[in-house]
């Protein structure tokens, strides 16, 4: 196992054991985790994609990964599916039955793309987000959101209504002040931060180091 695989494997196991405890309390419903960062490009999509592949393989749970970065959606490219008919269409149209949840080559991993009805700064109305979370947590054991950075959109209702928040931090470039500023949005929800991924720890050997707060 190379370095990145070993670290991703370890990260997936620690996160999974934490989430399993929360799942026991969720009385048969799935758990949702919003992945975000202080600024753009810290590695949210990279971490989300790597992590869910490991968690899917290790757990056998039904997992949904949602592209919730409507400003700059990328997940459809990682998984080679088309972007249409996804989250933004469901949020605007309100009919989740008609939204296409896309199968991946991993049997228990499904993708919801950003969709075509998106525009920068689309707000997520609380009522629609509640309906959406209700719909997906009935059908999936774990729901992960590959989100936008906090400095891009601020904390939206998806962040507030998810069960947990996973922060990705570019340890090479993100300044402490920038992180604290972004986190001020989350102060009232600080206990929902389930972990921090210190990403890009080394310059030339990509590495993820994970620790719980
Ligand atoms: N640990 C890593 N090892 C190697 N490459 C990485 C790592 N983390 C991120 N990258 C690369 O850095 C770039 C930015 O990563 P990514 O797209 O995941 O960031 P992001 O936080 O999702 O960005 P955005 O805010 O635009 O959504 C990508 O090219 C990605 O492949
Ligand atoms: Mg991204």
**Ligand 1 site, residue 50, Cβ cutoff 6 A:** no
Instruction: Tell which atom from ligand 1 comes closest to the C-alpha of 48.
Output: 18
Interatomic CA distance for residues 143 and 124, integer angstroms: 17
Q: Say which residues have a Cβ less than 8 Å from residue 116's Cβ, sequence separation at least 6.
A: 83, 84, 85, 86, 88, 89
Bridge partner list, 36: 167
- Calculate how far, in angstroms, residue 51's C-alpha sits from the geometric centre of ligand 1: 13
143 vs 15: which has the higher pLDDT: 143
Query: What is the distance of C-alpha 112 from the center of its chain?
Result: 11
115 vs 181: which has the higher pLDDT: 115
Question: Given a cut of 90, is residue 97 above it in pLDDT?
Answer: no
Q: State pTM to two decimals.
A: 0.90
Tell me the average pLDDT across 6-27: 85
SS3 120: coil
Tell me the average pLDDT across 188-201: 81
Asked whether the CA dihedral 110, 145, 94, 161 is positive or negative, the reply is positive
Asked whether the CA dihedral 13, 17, 18, 19 is positive or negative, the reply is positive
The per-residue pLDDT for range 133-162, each reduced to its tens digit, is: 999 999 999 999 999 998 887 778 898 899
Tell me the average pLDDT across 75-92: 92
Rounded to 10 degrees, the C-alpha dihedral 28/12/145/85 comes to: -90
Start-to-end Cα distance in the chain: 27
- Calculate how far, in angstroms, residue 200's C-alpha sits from the geometric centre of ligand 1: 9
pLDDT of residue 201: 60
Candidate of 37, 39, 43 to mutate for ligand 1, largest count of ligand atoms within 8 Å of Cβ: 43
3-211 CATH fold = Rossmann fold (3.40.50)
Tell me the average pLDDT across 7-31: 86
Considering every ligand atom, which ligand is closest to the CA of 50? 1
Question: Given a cut of 60, is residue 1 above it in pLDDT?
Answer: no
């Amino acid at each position: 196992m190379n370095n990145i695989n070993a670290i991703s494997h370890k990260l997936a196991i620690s996160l999974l054991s934490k989430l399993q405890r929360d799942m026991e309390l969720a009385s048969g419903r799935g758990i949702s985790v919003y992945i975000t960062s202080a600024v753009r490009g810290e590695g949210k999509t990279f971490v989300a994609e790597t992590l869910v592949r490991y968690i899917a393989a290790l757990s056998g749970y039904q997992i949904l990964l949602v592209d919730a970065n409507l400003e700059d959606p990328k997940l459809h490219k990682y998984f080679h599916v088309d972007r249409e008919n996804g989250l933004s269409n469901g949020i605007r149209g309100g009919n989740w039955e008609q939204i296409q949840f896309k199968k991946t080559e991993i049997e228990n991993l499904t993708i919801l793309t950003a969709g075509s009805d998106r525009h920068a700064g689309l707000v997520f109305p609380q009522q629609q987000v509640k309906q959406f979370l209700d719909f997906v947590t009935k059908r999936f054991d774990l729901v992960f959101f590959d989100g936008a950075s906090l400095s891009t959109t601020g904390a939206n209702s998806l962040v507030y209504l998810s069960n947990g928040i996973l922060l990705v931090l570019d340890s090479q470039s993100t300044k402490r002040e920038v992180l604290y500023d972004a986190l001020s949005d989350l102060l009232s929800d600080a206990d929902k931060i389930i972990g921090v991924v210190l990403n890009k720890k080394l310059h030339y050997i990509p590495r993820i180091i994970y620790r719980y707060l």
